[in-house]
Amino acid sequence: MANENFVDYVKICCRTGKGGAGSMHFHRDRLTTKGGPDGGDGGRGGHIILRGNKQMWTLLPLKYKKHVIAGNGSNGGSAHKTGANGEDIVLEVPLGTIAKDDETNEILCEIVEDGEEIILVAGGRGGLGNSNFKSSTHQTPRFAQPGEDGKMEWKILELKVLADVGLVGFPNAGKSTLLSSITAAKPKIGAYPFTTLVPNLGIVSYRDNQSFIMADIPGIIENAHQGKGLGIRFLKHIERNAALLFVVPADTENIGNEYKTLLRELELYNPELLDKPRLLGISKEDLVDEELKEMLETDLPEHIDHVYFSAVSQKGLQTLKDKLWQLMNQE
């Protein structure tokens, strides 16, 4: 069910409101038969607005909302009365959502804070009333501006999961088991590749009532950067993680080669990912003894710290948390 509910890509048609027309009116009352211009401005058309909501984790509410239509602004009135603004439409989205233009694929904005509001498409401006055009040489302007038309634009909303630590590894490396062991998350676990089809988030409790967020990203396969397997559908989520934990099982034929393959896929997708702090976690420690660990040292890659752990027996998990905490908080 969770897989069906996780939506990280939607395309919507945004139609903003038309601005109200300015009023062409002259002041009249029982004592004044030929007063000056007092036409008010028209109200602006409604905006389409994005608002960050930390309680949301998917774009599912927008999946079946293909057309979003804001209200039109009201016309201006007499006595310098400004027309009411059109009703804004506020779309609540998860943190980590980016908005793109459908035609140019240009990134327009990104939502990273709870309650943050950004106008995705602006409504039409209201027209000016005739009182704005009065001058010493033209004291009775008999015209006013019409309201500006609203816009109709297609936008793409794309979610990139925000987390402190992202788990990177081949399918069936034990990432989901690790997440379920140190957080309250309940990802699907199975002894076959691609058990995880969507990112799963969990909060890891740490010392002194501190915590951090860990994301289990669906497993990488070779040539994932070309779209093979789940391709860029999961690689994009790694971009928003502060640190990366590479998970390689202890019973892998060559730990160093598997790590280099994972690193290469990230580099080919986005070289900037290599700038993120990273740690090598060797899972399934309960399958190897101390003697075998010494033999495995020759296969381990250089220039990266590593830690053995077992999510099943809970061995090494506190050391893993300590190293991840240091990694996230290093200068």
pLDDT at 294: 82
Residue 209: partners with Cβ closer than 8 Å, 6 or more residues away? none
Please state, rounded to an integer, the average pLDDT across all residues of the chain.
Answer: 86
- Per-residue pLDDT, averaged over 254-272, amounts to 88
Q: Residue 8's pLDDT band (boundaries 50, 70, 90)?
A: confident
- DSSP summary character for residue 233: H
pLDDT at 252: 87
Quick one: which of 162, 167, 205 has its CA closest to 183?
205
Q: Does the predicted model carry a pTM greater than 0.75?
A: no
**Residue 21: Cβ within 10 Å count:** 23
| Contact yes or no for 209/203 (Cβ under 8 A) | no
80: tokens are 């310098």
| Residue 17 amino acid letter | G
**Rounded to an integer, what distance in angstroms lies between the CA atom of residue 199 and that of residue 265?**
18
**Rounded to an integer, what distance in angstroms lies between the CA atom of residue 235 and that of residue 291?**
36
Q: Residue 220's pLDDT band (boundaries 50, 70, 90)?
A: low
- Give the total residue count for the chain: 331
Quick one: which of 150, 202, 213 has its CA closest to 180?
202
Tracing tokens 């297609």 back to the chain, one arrives at: 154
**DSSP secondary structure of 24-89:** --B--BTTBSS--B-PPPPPPPPPEEEEE-TT---SHHHHT--EEEPPPPPPP-STTPPPPPPPPE
pLDDT by residue (tens digit) across 153-188? 999 999 887 789 988 888 877 888 898 888 865 544
> Looking at the domain 1-159, which fold is it?
Spo0b-associated Gtp-binding Protein; Chain: A, (2.70.210)
**DSSP secondary structure of 234-293:** HHHHHTTEEEEEEEEETT-S-HHHHHHHHHHHHHHH-GGGGGS-EEEEEE-GGG--HHHH
| Contact yes or no for 154/12 (Cβ under 8 A) | yes
Q: Which of 66-75, 87-96, 123-132, 201-210 has the lowest mean pLDDT?
A: 201-210
**Residue 322: Cβ within 10 Å count:** 13
Residue 170: partners with Cβ closer than 8 Å, 6 or more residues away? 219, 220, 221, 248, 258, 262
- CA R_g for the chain: 29
pLDDT at 219: 58
pLDDT higher than threshold 80 for residue 104: yes
Q: Residue 41's pLDDT band (boundaries 50, 70, 90)?
A: very high
Quick one: which of 83, 72, 69 has its CA closest to 124?
72
| CATH code linked to domain 163-328 | 3.40.50.300
pLDDT at 179: 87
Domain spans of the chain, in order of start: 1-159, 163-328
